[in-house]
Amino acid sequence: MPRDDMNEVEATQAEERNTNRHVLIWGTVLAIVALGAIALWFGL
């Protein structure tokens, strides 16, 4: 396998990891916001 192909594969995998990290971060943020909204709703 030529080195150029290896670099492309590694770059693609790195992009996928970054995407997964963003999904986890946004999922966590949205979950916290939702829980906060529910807590306020029942608190009122």
Between 22 and 7, the more confident residue is 22
State pLDDT tens for residues 26-43: 999 999 999 999 999 999
Alpha-carbon span 23 to 27, nearest angstrom: 6
Sign (positive/negative) of CA torsion 21, 23, 29, 31? negative
- Mean confidence (pLDDT) of the chain: 90
Domain count along the chain: 1
Q: What is the domain extent for residue 30?
A: 1-44
3-state SS, one letter per residue, for the chain: CCHHHHHHHHHHHHHHHHHHHHHHHHHHHHHHHHHHHHHHHHHC
Amino acid letter for position 1: M
Q: How many Å apart are CA 41 and CA 9, to the nearest integer?
A: 48
